[in-house]
Copies of this chain bind each other. A is one copy, B any other.
Amino acid sequence: MKQKRFILPESEIPTQWYNVVADMTNKPMPMINPATKEPITAEDLYPLFAEECSRQEVNRTDAWIDIPEEVREKYAYYRCTPLVRAYSLEEALGTPAHIYFKNESVNPLGSHKLNSAIPQAYYCKQQGVTNVTTETGAGQWGAALAYSAKLFGLDCAIYQVKISYEQKPYRRIIMQVFDAQVTPSPSMSTRAGKDLLTADPNHQGSLGTAISEAVELAMMTPNCKYLLGSVLNHVCLHQTVIGLEAEKQMAMAGEYPDIVIGCFGGGSNFSGISMPFMRHNLKDGKHTRFIAAEPASCPKLTKGEFRYDFGDETGYTPLIPMFTLGHEFRPANIHAGGLRYHGAGAIVSQLVKDGLVEAVDIRQLDSFAAGQLFAKAEGIIPAPESCHAIAAAINEANKCKETGEEKVILFNLSGHGLVDMTAYDQYISGTLANTGD
């Protein structure tokens, strides 16, 4: 029997995260304080984020950061996640490529987001914080944080992008099962939300608007921190457990990836799967290609501009050096809610600028076609976000079919789509469109 799944023992859950910034020749430009125009320091971030997260955010020198033992214990609830050889998908495509995926969908909350929610909640608890708040799109991050907050006894308030709140009621309920307070954004509960709703009562929300509301709530609430699920360096750092495990698992399979692929919203799952392999490009002469798969309707990497921009719609955040569509960009209502973000994190933006990461854009219907093909072959219904990575992987596998090359393709299955079934319903009934592409 050919081995299909590769799993590490609990003892091999990584003990350190990998900070690629330390190994980058051209380091990302620093975040800028919009008032002073000075680079942001860790101390500048303390009012908003946990102190340890703030220090990780600006750490440009340490390639390895210890994972606290308490975090590893919680990681053990679902890690190591399986690396899977997609034999059935290869067969369905008739490709000579070897396709692997890292299955981050098998954790309790159904996506990779837990990898950062747990340490962020832990660091808050450790410094005596009692309340946390965040934004969420499709709800993967919100669900992960709601559970992580519960694990560490923190009260949790979540602003969910209104269109997703309505499209994906199951994720709202999941957050509520863990006692989180969930508010559709924009809402009347913050000044930012009020302003947006006054200007446009039908505002459907975006990650940018929900971030504004959550940041405002954190600033107004005693002993409350704001936690972000993507974009920032420390979030991408936590996600490197994905790639660090995958590296060992690929070795178990006796292979090394020629191509690494992740879907791309703000950069967390893409960075998680990519950066541990990127270090061998940077340091050991490897030539792996890295492909970020973004939606055609929100194409910051393929059609955006590289410049300083705000992380949120209102302009509460520091200025971030990023590929951006502009912080007031209103993405179309595609089902991949987690990819509806105007900008790319600083690390990936720099790597794209330097030609070390490629980007492709995927249309909504193509993403679901890829997702359904994958489901029929591998039995896992992927999240609409993950469908973008699958589509990009299939494109590369089809190129191998033409050239006859046995390339090794690794993609990150960032989450399952079991609470996104209305999207599949529209797709298979033919009522889904290439919205905004």
A243 CA to B360 CA in the complex, in Å? 46
Q: Does A408 contact B (CB under 8 A)?
A: no
Chain B residues contacting A2 (CB-CB under 8 Å) are: 73
Q: Does A205 contact B (CB under 8 A)?
A: no
Asked if A173 contacts B421 (CB within 8 A), the reply is yes
Asked if B10 contacts A378 (CB within 8 A), the reply is no
Asked if B421 contacts A147 (CB within 8 A), the reply is no
A45 CA to B320 CA in the complex, in Å? 69
Asked if A372 contacts B170 (CB within 8 A), the reply is no
Chain B residues contacting A78 (CB-CB under 8 Å) are: 379
Q: Does A281 contact B (CB under 8 A)?
A: no
**Contacts A77-B379, A376-B179 hold; do A421 and B174 have CB atoms under 8 A apart?**
yes
Asked if B170 contacts A421 (CB within 8 A), the reply is yes
A390 CA to B411 CA in the complex, in Å? 36
Q: Does A63 contact B (CB under 8 A)?
A: no
Chain B residues contacting A422 (CB-CB under 8 Å) are: 170, 173
**Contacts A5-B10, A179-B376, A375-B177 hold; do A421 and B421 have CB atoms under 8 A apart?**
no
Chain B residues contacting A147 (CB-CB under 8 Å) are: 379
Q: Does A425 contact B (CB under 8 A)?
A: yes
Minimum CB–CB distance for A421 against chain B, Å:
4
Question: A177-208: which residues lie under 8 A (CB-CB) from chain B?
Answer: 177-179
Q: Does A109 contact B (CB under 8 A)?
A: yes
**Contacts A76-B4, A372-B177 hold; do A421 and B151 have CB atoms under 8 A apart?**
no
Q: Does A251 contact B (CB under 8 A)?
A: no
Asked if B419 contacts A421 (CB within 8 A), the reply is yes
Chain B residues contacting A114 (CB-CB under 8 Å) are: 379
Candidates B69, B106, B173, B379; contact of A151 at CB < 8 Å: B379
| A-B pairs with beta carbons under 8 Å apart, 7 shown | A1-B72, A7-B9, A150-B376, A173-B421, A176-B424, A179-B376, A418-B419
